[in-house]
Structure formats: C-alpha cells, structure tokens
Amino acid sequence: GAGVSQSPSNKVTEKGKDVELRCDPISGHTALYWYRQRLGQGLEFLIYFQGNSAPDKSGLPSDRFSAERTGESVSTLTIQRTQQEDSAVYLCASSLFQGAIGEQYFGPGTRLTVT
Amino acid sequence: AQTVTQSQPEMSVQEAETVTLSCTYDTSESDYYLFWYKQPPSRQMILVIRQEAYKQQNATENRFSVNFQKAAKSFSLKISDSQLGDAAMYFCAYKETSGSRLTFGEGTQLTVNP
C-alpha cells in the first residue's frame, strides 16, 4: 500500500510569507506526527495528533506554527510570517496507534528554504 | 527530559567489514523503546531495528544487530558485512512506552568505502 506522502517536496519562500505543508498519512493510521530537521541535526518533535483527541502541541517552537488534521486523514502544518531560522526539512510520520511500540512510518519530507 | 547522544558525527567502513555506531540515552523510566533509523540522501527515514527495554535479548535483523546495555543506558548498532547501500545518516531514537514522540540523537554519517 501507499506510504506517507508529503507535498510540496521543496518550498522556497520569502521571509515574512506564510507557508502550508501537507501530509497524507497511511490509510488507517490514527496517529500523526510532525518533526523538524535542521541541517545536519536530528529530528525535533513539533506536534502529535491521535484520533479525535486534543493534539499534543508541546513541541511547536512559537505561535507562528500551527497544524490541523481532518479526522484521521490529511494534516497541514502552517508557518506564518516565516523567518530564516525556519529553514529546515519538515517530516511527517504516522502510526497505527500510540500505544505499545507504535512504529512510526515517515514521509519523504518537505525542504523549506526561507530567503 | 530524555536525551539521546550519538558521539560519532561521522564513521567510515570498508565494504564487507563490520562497523559499530554508538548511542547513549538518559531516562528515569524503567520501560521504553529504542530504535535505529537510517536516512539516505532521499530523506526517507527507514526503521532499521528496534528494542524493547524489558527484553534482555538483543534485537537482530539480518546484518544489523544491537548491543543493549540497560544499566549503562547504551544502545549501539552493529552492521556486519557492510554494503555500499548502507551508506546513510543513522539516527538513534527513544520513545516512552506511554508516550507518543520520538526523541532523536544528532545522527552519525556512515560512509562505506568500496
């Protein structure tokens, strides 16, 4: 079956503009995660959705970042008034459920460049 | 807060040889999960191997095996018979049993020389 998909693959934007990044999880996966990966670094957790529960937003770095998820399907990560430090790869992952080992399957990421 | 440390930013190995990547972590939990992910230039994160902390037996997946030392909070990855396709960034990651997020180390860039 299809894996996690993300769009766009690459995005170049000017400082101060808003951007939307999209994630399509694996069908049937109730949990969805967003991570940020700065150049040469590991992944940083941003936000987590589980079914209809309130999302865990504890990793969002500022109020310029927000995310939505419609049911158990598509999620959108929005960054408002982008800054150069927002340049990174944004990775989405999904899993069947949070509990137990909850193996996360990752998408190919969106590379965001803020000029 | 949990932290994951990978002390080797870069490693290299000759094709067909064995290499070990190091990972240490800090946690006050007694039960948790540990993972090694591989990230090739395509950016796709691929799960290589996983270990449940309550299991004493080290996990093995074909040429990949781990040395899990719970008391020392160490979780190293051994790659045997290295292949050119193993060249990638490798990340060690930690997850609480009741938690959702993965906590990643900074990564180790592995080069495989022909």
CA distance B112 to chain A (A): 19
**Confidence bin at A28 (pLDDT 50/70/90):** confident
β-partners of residue A50 are A31
pLDDT in tens, B13-50: 999 999 999 999 999 998 999 999 999 988 889 999 99
Per-residue pLDDT band at A71 (split at 50, 70, 90): confident
Q: What mean pLDDT is predicted for residues A85-105?
A: 85
Give the amino acid at B82.
Answer: S
B12 band by pLDDT with thresholds 50, 70 and 90: very high
Cis ω on the peptide bond leading into residue A55 (within 30° of 0)? no
> For residues B88 and B40, what is the distance between their CA atoms, to the nearest angstrom?
4
Query: Which residues of chain B neighbour A109 with C-beta distances below 8 Å?
Result: 43-44
B23 Cβ contact list (under 8 Å, min separation 6): B4, B5, B6, B34, B36, B74, B75, B76, B77, B92, B105
Residue count of chain A, please give it.
115
Q: Do B104 and A43 touch (CB under 8 A)?
A: yes
- Mean pLDDT for the stretch of residues A5-32: 95
Residue B86, classed as helix, strand or coil, is helix
CA distance B101 to chain A (A): 6
Contact B102 A43 (CB under 8 A): yes
Tokens standing for residue B26: 């800090």
